[in-house]
Structure 1
Amino acid sequence: MHRLPPTAEATVLDIRLSLDPLQFSLREEARIAATFAAAKAGNPALFDGPILLFSRPCIDGPSLAATAYRTRYSSLTTLIAHPETGRDAVNLFGAAAIVGSDGGVVLGRMGPKTAGAGEVKFPGGTPDEEDVTAAGGVDIVGSIVREMAEETGLSASDARLDETLILVDDHPYFAVVGVLRFPEPAEHLAERVRAFLAADPDPELAGVEVVRPGASLDPAIVPAYTRAALARIS
């Protein structure tokens, strides 16, 4: 039996950008260089671009607070490969649960050039500079909307976003899942996404799958945070 990670809920996010360096990236500099070199040897498409990683979030009632730090993708690669070395750092990210009018949920299947090739999960991604606001905050809900549009072609303006966000703590991952409810059946949404991907010369997704509440999902390809959040969607 595969135990699911703990979940919580929040309606308020308070995430601020620090100008200090991420201590994990400084402390593990040599390991990061070696780990990313090995990862890139296996997947030359990987790019060591700028991203944000975060302090451990604090949940207080309906609010979630965290601090973001600028770093590079190689730090994330190492955090995932060696999570025990980074208990002070997490990959906090937004993910879009695309729910059709019939209750079906559309998941993306990651393409061969991505770090999670073959995985089936919510569209989403690690925040970066595009998600930093002028006031120095990090807009995770904006990241959810942006990533969904970039990966699937679906617009949040066509859906209703649940006020409550689902939080899944599965170190080193910390998923903030926004539930977007569309007025169309899930399979119709999936067909729209497939058409979008067919027209994209370099899509991030290789395809999409529709899953139903209570479906048995393969833990080898569906990440724990996706399975945990799906269990809370009704």
Structure 2
Amino acid sequence: MTRSAPRPDGRIVQLDEVEMHLTADEWPWAVENRERIDANWRRLKAEKPALFNGQVLVMSESRITARKLTGRYIATDYASFLAMRDFGAPPPGTGNCFAMAALRSADGAFVLGVMGDHTANAGKAYFPAGTPDLADVLPDGRVDLLGSVERELAEETGLGADDVTIGEGWTAVFDEPRLALMRPVQSVLPADRLVGRIENFLAAEPEPELSGIRLVRRVGDIDPATMPPFLQLYLKHMLT
């Protein structure tokens, strides 16, 4: 497995382009830790029966050159992905690289969703996002992270391409082993109407992924108890 190039100075980097590819490599760490991974999965599944052990993508290599991120993913099962999170010591160069829809209302509020009780990250507040999976892989092997943003936004909030404007470029937030890629998404609706629309969508869903909506208008609205460090970094960067 190729190790990533050294991380750039600073925790936030502006990018013009992202180009990630899926490889056919096997993840040695998952093979070596199979027994621990399976035991961890049994525990998680007992706590949250709705969890599904599907295939997801783990970053195995990345580098930034001239405002462009390039790198590679390896496919693995969700049990191994969660074990990497829970064990707290992923192999060097390995991480969770995912894209988020940095949704903002017309009057400047950032709009976050609170994850439902049946999810792996229950109670945490995020922008719409998901771990990349095989559905994001294009025929040429490229991983369509912009497509992931659009899909997750629609699945979690009901907002489609006609409801928002997706901006250019990415803001990369490094919080190893996480690499969050924020894509600006702008609504024409003010915060109260936008929240109302999303809540109506959630109420009509048989099992919505989100349990509620949180607004962040100023730094004081950032909640360290529910918002992960990489999201706090991004919000502070944007609001100060």
TM band (smaller chain):
over 0.9
2:169 to 164, 167, 177: 164
How far apart are residue 97 of structure 1 and its match?
0.9
How far apart are residue 24 of structure 1 and its match?
2.3
Query: SS in structure 2 opposite 1:232?
Result: helix
1:193 to 179, 198, 206: 198
Query: SS in structure 1 opposite 2:92?
Result: coil
% identical equivalent positions = 36
2:217 to 199, 212, 217: 212
Give the letter aligned to residue 110 of structure 2.
Answer: V
2:136 to 127, 131, 137: 131
When normalised by structure 1's length, the TM-score is 0.93
Query: 1:48-197 counterparts in 2 under 5 A?
Result: 48-197=53-202
Query: SS in structure 1 opposite 2:43?
Result: helix
Q: Is the 8 A contact 2:102 2:185 kept in 1?
A: yes
Q: Residues 45-74 of structure 1: CA distance to partner in whole angstroms, max 9, x if unpaired?
A: 211111111114211121001101111100
Q: Which moved more, 1:101-110 or 1:52-61?
A: 52-61
* In 2, Cα distance between equivalents of 1:40 and 1:128: 20
Q: Is the 8 A contact 2:17 2:67 kept in 1?
A: yes
Q: Is the 8 A contact 2:61 2:73 kept in 1?
A: no
How far apart are residue 196 of structure 1 and its match?
0.2
Q: Is the 8 A contact 1:83 1:171 kept in 2?
A: no
- Could you say which residue in structure 1 is the equivalent of 2:4? none
* In 2, Cα distance between equivalents of 1:200 and 1:216: 28
Q: Is the 8 A contact 1:36 1:74 kept in 2?
A: yes
Is the counterpart of residue 223 in structure 1 residue 228 in structure 2?
yes
Give the letter aligned to residue 19 of structure 1.
Answer: A
* In 2, Cα distance between equivalents of 1:183 and 1:225: 26
Q: Which moved more, 1:158-167 or 1:204-213?
A: 158-167
* In 2, Cα distance between equivalents of 1:209 and 1:184: 16
* In 1, Cα distance between equivalents of 2:63 and 2:227: 26
How far apart are residue 171 of structure 1 and its match?
2.0
* In 2, Cα distance between equivalents of 1:140 and 1:116: 21
Tell me the number of residue pairs that the alignment of Structure 1 and Structure 2 aligns: 230
Is the counterpart of residue 8 in structure 1 residue 51 in structure 2?
no
Q: Which moved more, 1:158-167 or 1:90-99?
A: 158-167
Q: Residues 121-161 of structure 1: CA distance to partner in whole angstroms, max 9, x if unpaired?
A: 11101011110001110001110110010000011333222
1:30 to 31, 35, 56: 35
* In 1, Cα distance between equivalents of 2:119 and 2:230: 18
- Cα root mean square deviation, aligned: 1.5
**Structure 2: which 5+ residue stretches go unaligned?**
1-9
Q: Is the 8 A contact 1:24 1:88 kept in 2?
A: no
Q: Is the 8 A contact 1:103 1:213 kept in 2?
A: no
**Structure 1: which 5+ residue stretches go unaligned?**
none
* In 2, Cα distance between equivalents of 1:9 and 1:121: 20
